[in-house]
Amino acid sequence: MKRTIFVLALVFVLILTACGPQKPANHLEAIKQAKVIKVGTSADYPPFESVDESGNKVGFDIELMTEIAKRMGVTIEWVDMPFDSLIAGVQEGKIDASISAFNYSEERDEKIDFTIAYYTSEDAFAVVDGFTGQIANPEDVAQYKVGAQTGTTQDSWLTDNLITTGKLSDANMFRYDRVDQAMLDLKSGRIEVLMADYVPAQALAKQLGGIKIIWHAVVSSGPMNIVIPNGDAELKAEMDKIIQELQAEGFIDNLAIKWLS
């Protein structure tokens, strides 16, 4: 009798095990099993990502990532954090991916992976309306007090090309967690030039008033990509496929018309 009870109990356990959720084979499967993807962003970069008056995240990147998640069959849990913490967040597994107007760089690629590009950006130099100086090329900003957002490609370009070469002193380089803070310092006169992505700089200049874009072109920026964990082949393949679909369908072009025109 005891043997029969033991066998029945064992069969019951095996049935429960077979019916229960299976351990995911990879990160993508884990996301789909949870039906949630944690996505990091720094929501201070309109029109790519910002927070509206109702407290909702809005912008080009926000709508794009929302559609990607929808086509993956999952919902998004947004994690708002400083820009220079986003890559570490992906590395440490605090977030599954990050979208925040990221540009590819070899230095970043050593730490994390990127999806294929979804948009190409330019750099810009912003000044106040009463600025009397001249910026004919990027190196000309070395004679001014310059600001940039920490961890951006603009920060890296200024450091590598102007500070390291001695053209710009450390005392005249100002770094900010948020680009809107930098814009406010520009308007108040604490800095004389702000280097940032062209489209967000243009949007913030219009929003704050009294600020203009004096020069823009591709210097440190370029194609924008979503950041994912290093070596995450399955997640990359899934996101790349969806981005290609959205490009072919004209979805991303329509987002650009809506947010970047």
Q: Is the pLDDT of residue 156 over 80?
A: yes
* 8 Å CB contact between 157 and 132: no
* 8 Å CB contact between 149 and 83: yes
Task: Output the pLDDT for position 105.
Answer: 85
Closest-CA residue to 190 (of 155, 144, 158, 150): 144
The DSSP H or E segment spanning 40 is strand 36-41
Q: Is the pLDDT of residue 5 over 90?
A: no
Q: Is the pLDDT of residue 16 over 80?
A: no
Domain 26-120+224-260 has CATH 3.40.710.10: no
Report whether the peptide linkage leading into residue 46 is cis, meaning its omega lies within 30 degrees of zero.
no
Task: Output the pLDDT for position 27.
Answer: 97
CA angle 174, 81, 49 (to 5 degrees): 85
- What are the CA-CA distances from residue 60 to residues 180, 220, 224, 260 (Å)? 17, 21, 12, 8
Reported as a single tens digit per residue, the pLDDT across 205-224 is 999 999 999 999 999 878 89
Name the class of domain 123-217. alpha beta
Helix (H, G, I), strand (E, B) or coil at 125: strand
Cα(150)–Cα(176) distance, rounded to whole angstroms? Answer: 5
Each domain of the chain, given as residue ranges in start order, spans: 26-120+224-260, 123-217
